[in-house]
């Protein structure tokens, strides 16, 4: 399967020409940093050439769609599985009007850690285009092969939402949700669950000490879309500004609980965190519990209703 | 360059001896990420150490710290100031961060109201710098007039030479005291500093940069840069020169503490006033504020650029907002 | 300490604080201090009493947020934290001998009141003083005792009052401060205008003064921004390269013109 | 800081005997905001309350804490006292030192320490208390009764007798419902229509009842005290004003169709009244089977009508009514035994349901009251009753017991024995449930009259010649038995109306897994629903016999009357409130609200991007009961519960953990 | 872990106004003694209890948190306790996952007529917490 950039451009151009959308949101090359792709917005068909679709489009787009469409802008979104679900999260939370987004689904073979590639094989960035060979990305015409297990972004290593679901249109290439690098989405969760309790706490405390509480995880998260985050409020002071083990615990506990049953597993929080806090291990724990306790299937696919806003008469009652 | 030559192991022993009774803050790698953490002594650096994700800033200006404790009794309140410092050595600090600390020093010491708590902690800190032999992919210190082998705020500077060999030089009283305890003669040594990976597309000389930017205060480029800003505090918290803080009280029923914590001008409510008025309501103003503060306002105030080219914001901003991009956009490049 | 409501609506109260002998500090009109209610927080309030009456400090507080609300709830006898004085204040030395045009709106009179009383106490050192003061309604006028009784009685002091909407008792003029000012048409000759009030009022007053022929350096205004440290360190209250807490709150229109319009 | 006064009650020795009150007072005096503490022997006594009032005056108290017994005991008392002292009642907080402390703990130190915490909790909470005002909602003094069966009739009459205007909506052409189809009623055997008809007439003639038959509720909007109901008056094709009810048209109509009222055992014309005593006694044209409407020719009835009341042009009309309360009495349906193939229902005309049997014995029925087999038209020699058809059988029917079958089977058996003494009657049953006044006796009477009660399930019923063969097992003596009969009566279950769920949706009330409407509380609020102002009566809420239905109807009526007897309704001040500034408008609060009290609305907000409209949640204090579920569902913290606000609970937690 | 002298566990109990608070009252009126470890906060419904309240209590020094509500099906508001059950179940699991002993959070059903039961629950829980000792994980350093 190849990264059909021309096809993407063509689709984007058509959307703009047909006035289906006012703008298209995708990625563009950073002129200063060869490995960097940042979110980019194109308003005229003539400029779709600025868009890029290759193994370095790391940033998630969903959260940006929220603010962009606020003013009623009709937005076409180049959406990988994670982006699409993120947008749907926002739609179901009534933060985005369905009619304001046109989801252009791009089956995603996984994204590479640009800096890593840049450090280890800068010549890869001379490529004109890219092909996906399952276990490798292959640059055309240079033929440079990048092994995925070495270069995949963490979030993509863990990804199980590669296929763009619930899109208005999906770029016609084969591909699927299956990710050979992640047989068991809950592996890390299980490992942690099996640790003895004190060690479990030590594990987290270690991370609490490093978390800067810069809120990058919250700000990139499509599920964290509240008008006013309770963690920012002073009255009531859900979370004190003081940073200590206890407050860090409350911060991460609350965050995890607030996305419980709503997280779309896009892994953006993980990517955004500068110190590598394993936010995924918290989010997926919640997913796992939603599955185990309440039998929610595909806990990462957004629904109108959310598990914690529901109940069943026969919910488990294990409090001893 | 005149330095004392020493083998790595001897150097560590010497440092450890001099640093007796002090807290050692050294770069430590915890899965893929380097951080400055408390350890029982200095360490040898593996070759892959460029610089820490989170610099040593937090050990001088903590993420949050009490500044006073209060206790109500009836209608009266008693207040005791906090004693937040411990003698410490911060070891392995790179020139960009050393320069940043120098900048923080000048800011905190600035009249009419020096920030005593920082200065006290600073006075009890020995900085052992480490010159750069290799650059990380986002470094651009020289573009900001910072040199990868300069000592800046350091008391002692370590220059990795060939193999096991290091050169050490002192730049302060304490530094000289310490160095005196290291046997060995001062000798000349050739040190080849790293060359930063990036050089910024500077639209003008550093001297003219403030003016250049102020002329572009209303440039549409700001909007083109900032629309994708997520309003998190990542850049500010990683930035070695960002020092903005907030103050709030932690109350425990009539007694408690007033704490000072890192704040960031990119966060939405940073400058929102109680009445609701906010001079910097959108990401555009906030991103502009951050960059202007570093490259224009502060130079105008204290004559120095508030960026040392450590490259952290470039490497870690999840949405790829960074200085080069800013300069280019304001330069009028279409994208 | 004593707490006295200023306005009928009770949204503005004046705190009179008696400092222990050893803690007294000297200050200039227009300077501010950080008031703190321990357990709630701190906020920057301008000193509305004149330095010529040092034994007691007065602060007039409008209820807007958490801290100001807490200040409003204080009871006489309770104690608060005060640090200061902060900011530059009005250049009383340079103003010596000049005529003064004081233009204030609502709570904006607070910092200027300090100046007015300072001038009243050293009447001979300054030229004639005109006070133009307005508020939303007659109830919202602050410092009634002074604006209605004491000040008008002082030689060479004129007080002109206006309100946005009057009520049955109100016989004085009705209208917004800027337009009212233009009607009064004070001459700029040897006069320095000092203004303080809500941002929007300031904006139009500055225009009005310009129309009246006031030169940029003849106009002083005070600005307000969110502050936390008060000592130019927390990086919140800057307008361009100037910190309101250290370089301000008083700026001349001349300075203002060199600053970005971010306030 | 708010000025708090704390009043420590000894409750004689009940509290003071275990808690060291002076140590407590010393501690309390140090608590933030507390400006006055005093002890009373009995705070709830008049002098006790007076001393609080005095303290409020003298110390300018803004908040009051009474540390005494359980708030469930005296909160009302002290709130009333607050009002008389000129303070808002909700600025009071109680600390439960008796039930939760002195009565359950012995150790003085432990008890005192705990008392200190409990008082501190109250102090911290009350400092954050805001004065709460209960709102007022006007009430429309009119009730809607849904369903014209005995329950609906009873409810309507009771309400009307309270002097409350009633609108009664019945979907069929006549009042009467199921009861009208019955012949006699257990256990007294008095004739059903004899006791029902007068009530039907009373409804029709009652000045304050507006009777709308052949009508259906289209939609219901609004909330308690202020419902807007849209009613569809189906076209009758007969002018109710003109029609004299002479019946000329009925006999003339050429069409013959099975009568719903007789459950298909008899026939009726295309223009018909369901049954002779129908109220109103005005025919209706069933357009599906009317020749004029189907073929365009006929008009016989029109010619026959001396009053010229026939009006083929008539159309459905929509009428809207404003009511303050709604009584739902839509009744039940009978289970279709077809599910039980082995009982040969439908396969043989001589297998009928209990209700069909009622028509068969009824003097107004198709046979004029003579019991004849629908198949042969012969008098049956032997009749077999099979009970629990569709009841207590989760596989093919419903899990519940239909409650009435045991008794009506007994009744029908007795009627048989009375009319055909020589007829043998067998009843196959699982259990006989005859709980109720004179019920057991009634059942025994049936046995005494020779009715054979056989405990066991019938395996199979199948035609055999012109009779029926029944294969069954007597589980008491464990013997298979086989017998012939002329008539088999299936006591089929009572099930909800097929449209019950739509009705529930229209009204915004809940229905259980079977489709019966759910009451607000199974024990304490049996006739109310979760939607304030909507009440339940009769079998629509669950299987019931006539006495139960009538009783419940009366209860529902008086509940509704109690509500409508006021011009306006005080709304509970402890309700959810929205901070519109923080609200994201996701409305997940609305999803967890059991009372449909939360809806959305658009507001205009000023943002950096300029003025825009946003959706926010809004709470209807008339409906909100203050459970607080929404406040927890809201992640923004925009939804909060007055009186139990987040900041208050957090403060309580802090207070207890100091 | 070292338990300081004379340490007694402290339980913060959220009791719903209609069932459990009344149940606790009944324990009182019928003079059924139970450990003084518990401190009751009255809430309208167990569904009012925000999981953050629980963590807050543990942070501020409570050793255990009890949430008591009407038995399923008896909720005064019909469904509140069922939402509570879900939320707190997840809360409890998350606490355990993040290294806080799950036994510190308990949800139980106590009706207005179950004074005995209330006392028993408190006894059980107190015993459990005495074994666990105070919460070490979230202790915050106070003034010097």
pLDDT in tens, D180-236: 999 999 999 999 999 999 999 999 999 999 999 999 999 988 788 889 999 999 999
Contact D127, D103 (CB under 8 A): no
E78, D110: Cβ pair inside 8 Å?
no
Picking from A123-132, D113-122, D368-377, D603-612, which range would have the lowest pLDDT averaged per residue?
D603-612
Q: How confident is the model at residue D18 (pLDDT cuts 50, 70, 90)?
A: very high
Q: Give the residue on E whose Cα is nearest the Cα of A208.
A: E98
The rounded distance, in Å, linking the Cα atoms of D17 and D12 is 8
How many residues belong to chain D?
658
CA distances from C236 to A206, C232, D123 (A): 32, 8, 36
Q: Give the residue on D whose Cα is nearest the Cα of B256.
A: D658
The residues pairing with D164 across neighbouring beta strands, listed in sequence order, are none
Task: Please check whether residues C123 and C218 belong to one and the same domain.
Answer: yes
E10, D657: Cβ pair inside 8 Å?
yes
Q: Which domain holds residue D638?
A: 576-642
A238, E92: Cβ pair inside 8 Å?
no
* Model pLDDT for residues C104-132, shown as the tens digit of each residue: 998 999 999 999 999 999 989 999 999 99
Nearest-Cα distance to chain C for D3, in Å, is: 9
The whole model's pTM is what? Answer: 0.83
Task: Please check whether residues D199 and D288 belong to one and the same domain.
Answer: no
* Model pLDDT for residues A32-53, shown as the tens digit of each residue: 888 999 999 999 999 999 999 9
Residue C102 lies in a domain: yes
Mean pLDDT of all residues in C149-157: 89
Residue stretches of chain E with pLDDT short of 70? 1-5, 140-144
Mean pLDDT of all residues in D542-560: 96
* Model pLDDT for residues B163-218, shown as the tens digit of each residue: 888 999 999 999 999 999 998 888 888 888 888 888 887 888 888 889 999 989 99
The pairing of beta strand C99-105 with beta strand C129-135: parallel
Mean pLDDT of all residues in B299-313: 91
Contact B2, B187 (CB under 8 A): yes
Q: Which residues of A touch E88 (CB under 8 A)?
A: 319
Q: Give the residue on D whose Cα is nearest the Cα of B285.
A: D608
D touches E, CB cut-off 8 Å, minimum 3 pairs: yes
Residue C121 lies in a domain: yes
Task: Please check whether residues D142 and D168 belong to one and the same domain.
Answer: yes
Nearest-Cα distance to chain C for D133, in Å, is: 21
Task: Please check whether residues D186 and D308 belong to one and the same domain.
Answer: no
Task: Please check whether residues C80 and C123 belong to one and the same domain.
Answer: no
Q: Which of A102, B227, A254, C95 is nearest to E56 (CA)?
A: A254
The rounded distance, in Å, linking the Cα atoms of D9 and D21 is 9
- C77 touching D, CB under 8 A? no
Residue C258 lies in a domain: no
The rounded distance, in Å, linking the Cα atoms of B233 and A90 is 23
- CB-nearest to D586 from A93, A236, A238 is A93
* Model pLDDT for residues E91-120, shown as the tens digit of each residue: 999 999 999 999 999 999 998 889 999 999
Domain count, chain C: 2
Task: Please check whether residues D123 and D229 belong to one and the same domain.
Answer: no
Mean pLDDT of all residues in D357-373: 90
Mean pLDDT of all residues in C162-188: 88
Residue D649 lies in a domain: no
Nearest-Cα distance to chain A for D635, in Å, is: 7
D touches B, CB cut-off 8 Å, minimum 3 pairs: yes
Q: Give me the pLDDT at residue E100, please.
A: 95
The rounded distance, in Å, linking the Cα atoms of D617 and D625 is 16
Task: Please check whether residues D344 and D468 belong to one and the same domain.
Answer: yes
Task: Please check whether residues D382 and D490 belong to one and the same domain.
Answer: yes
Q: To probe the interface with D, which of A228, A247, A255, A312 has the most D CB atoms within 10 Å?
A: A228
Residue D656 lies in a domain: no
The rounded distance, in Å, linking the Cα atoms of D352 and D374 is 9
Q: Which residues of A touch B322 (CB under 8 A)?
A: 32-33
What number of other Cβ atoms are within 10 A of residue D378's Cβ?
A: 14
Residue B334 pLDDT greater than 50, yes or no: no
Q: Give the residue on A whose Cα is nearest the Cα of D611.
A: A71
Q: Give the residue on D whose Cα is nearest the Cα of E6.
A: D110
Contact B59, B126 (CB under 8 A): no
- Chains B & C: contacts with CB separation below 8 Å: 108
More confident residue, C261 or D546: D546
Task: Please check whether residues C24 and C103 belong to one and the same domain.
Answer: no
Domain count, chain B: 1
E:8-67 residues touching chain D, CB 8 A cutoff: 8, 10, 12, 17, 21-22, 24-25, 27-29, 31-34, 36, 39-45, 47-50, 53, 56-57, 60-62
Residue D460 lies in a domain: yes
- CB-nearest to E56 from D631, D644, D650 is D650
Share of chain A above pLDDT 90, in %: 67
A214, B237: Cβ pair inside 8 Å?
yes
E touches C, CB cut-off 8 Å, minimum 3 pairs: no
- CB-nearest to D658 from B72, B252, B281 is B252
Nearest-Cα distance to chain C for B20, in Å, is: 33
Task: Please check whether residues C183 and C157 belong to one and the same domain.
Answer: yes
- CB-nearest to D594 from E28, E77, E119 is E77
Task: Please check whether residues D192 and D54 belong to one and the same domain.
Answer: no
Distant-in-sequence, close-in-space partners of D502: CB < 8 Å, separation ≥ 6: none
Q: Which of C14, C17, C30, C31 is nearest to C82 (CA)?
A: C17
* Model pLDDT for residues D131-162, shown as the tens digit of each residue: 999 888 889 999 999 999 999 999 999 999 99
Which structure tokens are listed for B174? 């304490």
Mean pLDDT of all residues in C247-260: 89
Nearest-Cα distance to chain D for A264, in Å, is: 17
The rounded distance, in Å, linking the Cα atoms of D255 and D290 is 7
Q: Which residues of A touch B323 (CB under 8 A)?
A: none
Residue B237 lies in a domain: yes
CATH number (domain holding residue C38): 2.40.30.10
B318, A35: Cβ pair inside 8 Å?
no
Q: To probe the interface with A, which of B82, B318, B330, B332 has the most A CB atoms within 10 Å?
A: B318
The rounded distance, in Å, linking the Cα atoms of D349 and E19 is 55
What number of other Cβ atoms are within 10 A of residue A17's Cβ?
A: 11
Task: Please check whether residues C150 and C77 belong to one and the same domain.
Answer: no
Q: Which domain holds residue B60?
A: 3-328
Q: To probe the interface with E, which of B82, B252, B256, B259 has the most E CB atoms within 10 Å?
A: B252
Mean pLDDT of all residues in A197-223: 95
Q: Give me the pLDDT at residue C9, please.
A: 58
E90, A254: Cβ pair inside 8 Å?
no
CATH of domain E11-132: 3.40.50.960
Q: Which residues of D touch E74 (CB under 8 A)?
A: 521
Nearest-Cα distance to chain E for D349, in Å, is: 45
Task: Please check whether residues D358 and D475 belong to one and the same domain.
Answer: yes
The rounded distance, in Å, linking the Cα atoms of D645 and D93 is 14
Q: Give me the pLDDT at residue D504, please.
A: 87
> Could you state, in order of their start, the residue ranges of all structural domains in chain E?
11-132
* Model pLDDT for residues D614-642, shown as the tens digit of each residue: 899 999 988 888 999 999 999 999 999 99
Q: Give me the pLDDT at residue B1, please.
A: 66
Residue with tokens 């209820």: C63
Task: Please check whether residues D362 and D477 belong to one and the same domain.
Answer: yes
Q: Could you give phi then psi for residue D596, rounded to 5 degrees?
A: 50, 40
Residue C227 lies in a domain: no
Mean pLDDT of all residues in B95-112: 94
Domain count, chain D: 5
Contact D289, D257 (CB under 8 A): yes
Which structure tokens are listed for E49? 């209890």
Task: Please check whether residues D118 and D70 belong to one and the same domain.
Answer: yes
C241, B296: Cβ pair inside 8 Å?
yes
Q: To probe the interface with A, which of B140, B319, B321, B323 has the most A CB atoms within 10 Å?
A: B319
- CB-nearest to B253 from D607, D609, D655 is D655
Query: Secondary structure of chain A in the HEC alphabet?
Result: CECCHHHHHHHHHHHHHCCCCCEEEEEEECCCCCCCEEEEEECCHHHHHHECCCCCCCCCCHHHHHHHHCCCCCEEEEECHHHHHHHHHHHHCCCCCHHHEEEEECCCCCCECHHHHHHHCHHHHHCCEEEEECCEEEEECCCCEEEHHHHECHHHHCCCCCCCCCCCEECCCCCCCCCCCCCCCCHHHHHHHHCCHHHHHHHHHHHHHHCCCCCHHHHHCCCCCCCCCHHHCCCCCCCCCCCCHHHHHHHHHHHHHHHCCCCCCCCHHHHHCCCCCCHHHHHHHHHHHHHHHHCCCCCCCCCCCCHHHCCCCCCCCCCC
Residue D571 has what DSSP assignment? P
Task: Please check whether residues D98 and D8 belong to one and the same domain.
Answer: yes
Distant-in-sequence, close-in-space partners of A134: CB < 8 Å, separation ≥ 6: A109, A180
Task: Please check whether residues D159 and D88 belong to one and the same domain.
Answer: no
- B328 touching A, CB under 8 A? yes
Task: Please check whether residues C52 and C98 belong to one and the same domain.
Answer: no
Q: Which residues of E touch D101 (CB under 8 A)?
A: 36
Which of left, alpha, beta for B5 (phi over 0: left; psi -120 to 50: alpha)? beta
Mean pLDDT of all residues in A253-278: 94
A200, E99: Cβ pair inside 8 Å?
yes
CB half-sphere exposure, D398, CA atoms < 13 A = 20
- E68 touching A, CB under 8 A? no
Residue C205 lies in a domain: yes
Q: Which residues of C touch B297 (CB under 8 A)?
A: 238, 240-241
Segment (H or E) for D93: strand D92-96
Residue D484 lies in a domain: yes
Q: Which domain holds residue C21?
A: 2-86
A245, E137: Cβ pair inside 8 Å?
yes
- D32 touching C, CB under 8 A? yes
């Amino acid at each position: 399967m190849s990264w059909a950039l021309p096809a993407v451009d063509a689709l984007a151009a058509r959307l703009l020409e047909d006035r289906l959308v006012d703008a298209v949101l995708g990625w563009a090359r950073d002129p200063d940093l060869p490995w960097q792709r940042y979110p980019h917005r194109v308003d005229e068909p003539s400029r779709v050439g600025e868009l890029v679709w290759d193994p370095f489009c790391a940033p998630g787009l969903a959260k940006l769609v929220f603010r962009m469409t606020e003013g009623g802008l009709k937005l076409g979104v180049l959406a990988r599985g994670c982006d699409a679900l993120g947008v749907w999260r926002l739609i179901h939370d009534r933060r985005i009007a369905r009619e304001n987004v046109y989801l252009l689904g791009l089956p995603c073979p996984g994204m590479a850690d640009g800096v890593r590639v840049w450090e280890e094989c800068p010549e890869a960035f001379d490529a004109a285009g890219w092909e996906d060979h399952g276990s490798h990305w292959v640059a055309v015409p240079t033929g440079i092969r990048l092994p995925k297990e070495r270069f995949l972004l963490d979030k993509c290593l863990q990804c199980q939402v590669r296929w763009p679901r619930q899109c208005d249109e999906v770029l016609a290439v084969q591909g699927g949700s299956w990710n050979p690098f992640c047989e068991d989405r809950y592996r890390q969760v299980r490992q942690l669950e099996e640790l003895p309790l004190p060690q479990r706490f030590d594990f987290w405390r270690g991370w609490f000490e490093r978390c800067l509480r810069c809120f990058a995880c919250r700000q990139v998260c499509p599920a964290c879309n509240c008008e006013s985050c309770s963690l920012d409020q002073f009255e009531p002071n859900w979370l004190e500004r003081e940073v200590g083990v206890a407050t860090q615990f409350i911060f991460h506990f609350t965050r995890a609980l607030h996305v419980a049953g709503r997280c779309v597993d896009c892994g953006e929080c993980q990517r955004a965190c500068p110190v590598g806090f394993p936010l995924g291990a918290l989010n997926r724990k919640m997913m796992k519990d939603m599955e185990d306790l309440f039998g929610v299937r595909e806990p990462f696919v957004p629904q109108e209703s959310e598990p914690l806003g529901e109940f069943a008469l026969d919910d488990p009652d294990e409090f001893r | 360059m005149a330095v004392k030559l020493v083998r790595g192991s001897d150097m560590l022993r010497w440092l450890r001896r001099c640093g007796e009774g002090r807290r050692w803050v050294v770069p430590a790698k915890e899965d893929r990420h380097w951080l400055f953490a408390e350890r029982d002594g200095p360490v040898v650096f593996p070759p892959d150490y460029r610089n820490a994700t989170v610099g040593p800033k937090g050990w001088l200006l903590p993420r949050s710290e009490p500044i006073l404790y209060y206790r109500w009794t009836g209608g009266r309140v008693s207040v005791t100031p906090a004693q937040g410092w411990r003698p410490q050595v911060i070891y392995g600090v790179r020139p960009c961060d050393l320069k940043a600390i120098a900048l923080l020093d000048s800011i905190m010491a600035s009249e009419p109201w020096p920030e005593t708590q920082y200065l006290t902690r600073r006075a009890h800190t020995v900085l052992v710098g480490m010159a750069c032999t290799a650059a990380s992919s986002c470094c651009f210190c020289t573009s900001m007039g910072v040199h990868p082998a300069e000592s800046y705020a350091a008391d002692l500077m370590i220059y990795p030479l060939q193999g096991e060999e290091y050169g050490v030089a002192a730049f302060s009283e304490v530094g000289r005291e310490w160095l005196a305890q290291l046997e060995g003669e001062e000798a000349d040594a050739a040190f080849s500093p790293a060359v930063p990976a990036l050089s910024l597309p500077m639209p003008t000389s550093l001297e003219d940069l403030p003016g250049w930017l102020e002329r572009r205060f209303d440039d549409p480029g700001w909007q083109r840069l900032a629309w994708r800003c997520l309003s998190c505090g990542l850049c500010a918290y990683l930035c070695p020169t960002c020092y903005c803080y907030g103050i709030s009280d932690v109350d425990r029923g009539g007694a408690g503490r007033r704490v000072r914590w890192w704040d960031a001008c990119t966060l939405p409510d940073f400058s929102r006033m109680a009445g609701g008025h906010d001079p910097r309501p959108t990401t555009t103003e906030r991103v502009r504020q951050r960059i202007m503060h570093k490259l224009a306002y502060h130079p105008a105030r204290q004559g120095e650029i508030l960026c040392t080219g450590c490259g952290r914001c470039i490497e870690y901003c999840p949405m790829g907002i960074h200085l080069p991009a800013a300069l280019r956009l304001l330069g009028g490049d279409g994208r | 300490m004593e707490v006295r409501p200023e306005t009928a609506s009770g949204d503005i109260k004046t705190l009179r604080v008696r400092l222990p002998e050893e803690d007294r500090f000297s200050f200039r009109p227009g300077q501010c201090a950080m008031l703190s209610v321990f357990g709630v927080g701190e906020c920057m309030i301008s000193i509305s009493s004149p330095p010529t009456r040092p034994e007691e400090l007065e602060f007039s507080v409008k209820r807007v947020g958490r801290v100001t609300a807490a200040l409003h709830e204080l009871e006489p006898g309770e104690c608060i934290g005060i640090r200061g004085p902060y900011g530059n204040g009005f250049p009383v030395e340079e103003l010596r001998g000049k005529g003064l045009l004081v233009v204030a709106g609502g709570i904006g009179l607070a910092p200027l009141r300090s100046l007015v009383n300072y001038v009243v106490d050293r009447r001979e050192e300054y030229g004639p003083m005109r006070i133009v003061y307005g508020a939303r309604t007659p109830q919202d006028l602050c410092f009634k005792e002074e604006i209605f009784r004491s000040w008008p009685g002082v030689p060479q002091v004129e007080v002109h009052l206006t309100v946005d909407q009057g009520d049955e008792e109100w016989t004085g003029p009705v209208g917004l401060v800027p337009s009212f000012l233009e009607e009064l048409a004070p001459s700029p000759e040897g006069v320095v205008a000092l203004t303080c009030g809500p941002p929007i009022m300031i904006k139009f007053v500055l225009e009005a003064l310009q129309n009246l022929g006031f030169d940029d350096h003849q106009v002083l205004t005070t600005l307000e921004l969110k502050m936390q440290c008060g000592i130019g360190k927390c990086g919140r209250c800057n307008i361009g390269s100037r910190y309101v807490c250290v370089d301000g709150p008083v700026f001349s229109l001349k300075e203002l013109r060199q600053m970005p319009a971010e306030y | 800081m708010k000025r708090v006064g704390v009043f420590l009650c000894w409750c004689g020795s009940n509290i003071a005997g275990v808690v060291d009150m002076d140590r407590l007072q010393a501690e309390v005096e140090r608590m933030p905001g507390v400006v006055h503490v005093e002890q009373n022997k009995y705070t709830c006594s008049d002098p006790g309350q007076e001393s609080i009032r005095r303290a409020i005056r003298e110390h300018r108290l803004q908040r009051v804490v009474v540390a005494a017994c359980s708030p469930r005991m005296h909160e009302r008392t002290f709130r009333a006292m607050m009002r008389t002292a000129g303070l808002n009642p909700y600025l009071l907080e109680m600390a439960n030192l008796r039930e939760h402390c002195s009565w359950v703990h012995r150790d003085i130190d432990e008890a005192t320490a705990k008392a200190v915490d409990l008082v501190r909790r109250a102090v911290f909470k009350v400092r954050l208390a805001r004065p709460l005002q209960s709102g007022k909602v006007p009430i429309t003094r009119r009730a809607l009764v849904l369903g014209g069966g005995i329950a609906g009739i009873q409810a309507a009459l009771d309400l009307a007798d309270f002097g409350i205007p009633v609108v009664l909506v019945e979907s069929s052409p006549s009042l009467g419902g199921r009861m009208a189809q019955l012949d006699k009623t257990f256990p007294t055997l008095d004739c059903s229509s004899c006791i029902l008809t007068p009530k039907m007439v009373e409804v029709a003639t009652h000045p304050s009842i507006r009777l709308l038959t052949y009508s259906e509720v289209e939609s219901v909007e609004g909330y308690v005290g202020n419902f807007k109901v849209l009613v569809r008056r189906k076209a009758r094709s007969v002018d109710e004003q003109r029609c004299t009810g002479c019946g000329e048209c009925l006999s003339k109509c050429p069409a013959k169709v099975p009568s719903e009222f007789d459950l298909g055992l008899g026939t009726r014309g295309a223009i018909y009244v369901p049954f002779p005593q129908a109220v109103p006694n005005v025919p209706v044209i069933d357009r599906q089977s009317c020749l004029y409407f189907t073929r365009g020719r006929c008009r016989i009835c029109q010619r026959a009508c001396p009053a010229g009341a026939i009006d083929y042009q008539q159309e459905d009309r929509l009428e809207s009514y404003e009511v303050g309360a709604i009584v739902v009495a839509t009744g039940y349906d009978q289970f279709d035994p077809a599910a039980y193939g082995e009982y040969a229902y439908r396969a043989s005309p001589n297998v009928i349901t209990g209700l069909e049997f009622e028509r068969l014995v009824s003097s107004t029925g198709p046979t004029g009251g003579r019991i004849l087999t629908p198949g042969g038209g012969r008098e049956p020699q032997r009749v077999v009753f099979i009970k629990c058809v569709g009841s207590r059988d989760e596989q093919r029917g419903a899990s519940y017991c239909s409650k009435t079958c045991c008794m009506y089977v007994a009744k029908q058996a007795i009627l048989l024995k009375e009319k055909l003494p020589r007829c043998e009657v067998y009843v196959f049953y699982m259990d006989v449930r005859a709980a109720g006044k004179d019920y057991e006796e009634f059942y025994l009477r049936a046995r005494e009259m020779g009715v054979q009660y056989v405990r066991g399930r019938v395996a199979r019923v199948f035609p055999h010649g012109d009779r029926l063969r029944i294969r069954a097992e007597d589980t008491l003596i464990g013997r298979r038995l086989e017998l012939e009969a002329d008539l088999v009566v299936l006591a089929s279950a009572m099930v909800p109306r097929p449209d019950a769920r739509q009705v529930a949706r229209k009204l915004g009330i809940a229905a259980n897994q079977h489709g019966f409407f759910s009451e607000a509380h199974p024990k304490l609020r049996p006739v109310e629903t979760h939607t304030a102002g909507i009440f339940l009566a009769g079998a629509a809420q669950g299987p019931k016999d006539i006495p139960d239905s009538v009783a419940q109807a009366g209860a529902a009526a008086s509940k509704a009357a109690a509500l409508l007897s006021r011009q306006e309704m005080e709304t509970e001040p402890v309700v959810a409130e929205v901070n519109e500034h923080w609200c994201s408008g996701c409305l997940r609060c609305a999803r967890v609200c059991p009372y449909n009290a939360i809806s959305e609305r658009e507001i205009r907000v000023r943002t950096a991007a300029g003025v825009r409209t946003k959706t926010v949640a809004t709470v209807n204090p008339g409906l909100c009961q203050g459970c607080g579920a929404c406040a927890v569902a809201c992640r923004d913290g925009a939804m909060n519960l007055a009186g139990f606000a987040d900041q208050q609970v957090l403060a309580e937690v802090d207070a207890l953990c100091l | 872990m070292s338990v300081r002298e004379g340490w007694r566990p402290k339980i913060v109990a959220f009791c719903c106004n209609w069932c459990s608070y009344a149940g606790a009252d009944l324990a009182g009126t019928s003079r059924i003694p139970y450990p003084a470890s518990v401190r009751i906060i009255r809430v309208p419904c167990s569904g009012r209890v925000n999981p953050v309240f629980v963590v807050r209590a543990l942070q501020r020094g409570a050793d255990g948190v009890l949430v008591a509500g009407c038995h399923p099906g008896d909720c005064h508001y019909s469904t509140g306790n069922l939402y509570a059950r879900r939320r707190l179940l997840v809360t409890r699991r998350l606490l355990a996952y993040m290294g806080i002993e799950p036994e510190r959070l308990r949800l139980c059903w106590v009706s207005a007529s179950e004074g005995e039961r209330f006392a028993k629950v408190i006894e059980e829980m107190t015993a459990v917490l005495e074994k666990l000792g105070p919460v070490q994980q979230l202790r915050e350093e106070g003034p010097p």
